[in-house]
């Protein structure tokens, strides 16, 4: 029951967690601020102490998601100088793991229509996550002959898009049941084909 004048110890985070549960259940546009307040056990008016509207609340969910995502990506890429396939394979698997373990954050980040530039804090968190693949791509691009070397940002974007596509089609939704292969196998083979096309892997690797 909602209590008038209730003072939550960490109201802002309680609202974020309530919103994440609602996003998982209904999608990022399937709930109201009043419903998030009810889930958090506070009055609707209390929400406005921290958020101007639902989009601001979702943006904070996305910011926290990007922070978790960046930690996973950095951990996946850390350690020595990995091969091309190992580097992108590890970050790709981290992408899949994040989408499965944190579906509310994932949807807030990629399905809510919230621009990463909505707030400075969200922009910083988003850029940190993207920087992992960009850094890997920059290092790998040095092994491609200059005459046929695409910009590092381009092929990091290609791998990001491939990872995102596998997540959307085969890791999170019902259509994934149509594939006889795991999402991990699909992603690893796709990245391998792409890197071979760039000459970063031998044909029989």
How much is the mean pLDDT over the chain? 83
The answer to the question of residue 202 being in a domain is no
120 & 154 share domain = yes
The answer to the question of residue 60 being in a domain is yes
Q: How many folded domains does the chain comprise? A: 2
Grouping H, G, I as helix, E, B as strand and the rest as coil, residue 41 is coil
138 & 162 share domain = yes
- Does 104 have pLDDT greater than 70? yes
Render pLDDT for 81-95 as a digit per residue (tens, 0 to 9): 556 667 777 888 888
Render pLDDT for 129-164 as a digit per residue (tens, 0 to 9): 888 888 877 877 777 887 878 888 888 888 888 888
pLDDT of residue 147: 80
What are 170-173's contacts with CB under 8 Å, separation 24+?
171/96, 171/99, 171/100, 172/99, 172/100, 172/103, 172/106
Q: What percent of the chain has pLDDT over 90?
A: 34
pLDDT of residue 202: 67
59 & 156 share domain = yes
């Amino acid at each position: 029951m909602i209590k008038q004048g209730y003072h939550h110890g960490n109201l802002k985070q309680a609202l974020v967690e309530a919103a994440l549960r609602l996003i998982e259940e209904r999608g990022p546009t399937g709930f109201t601020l009043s419903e998030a307040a009810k889930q958090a056990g506070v009055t609707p008016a209390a929400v406005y102490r921290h958020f101007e509207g639902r989009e601001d609340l979702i943006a904070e969910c996305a910011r926290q998601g990007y922070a978790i995502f960046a930690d996973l990506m950095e951990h996946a890429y850390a350690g020595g100088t990995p091969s091309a396939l190992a580097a992108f394979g590890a970050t790709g698997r981290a992408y899949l793991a994040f989408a499965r373990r944190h579906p509310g954050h994932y949807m807030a980040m990629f399905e809510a229509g919230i621009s990463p530039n909505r707030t400075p804090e969200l922009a910083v968190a988003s850029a940190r996550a993207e920087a992992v693949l960009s850094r890997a791509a920059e290092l790998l691009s040095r092994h491609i002959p200059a005459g046929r070397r695409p910009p590092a940002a381009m092929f990091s974007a290609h791998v990001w898009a491939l990872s995102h596509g596998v997540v959307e089609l085969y890791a999170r939704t019902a259509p994934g049941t149509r594939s006889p292969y795991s999402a991990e196998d699909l992603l690893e083979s796709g990245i391998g084909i792409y890197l071979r096309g760039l000459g970063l892997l031998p044909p029989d690797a």
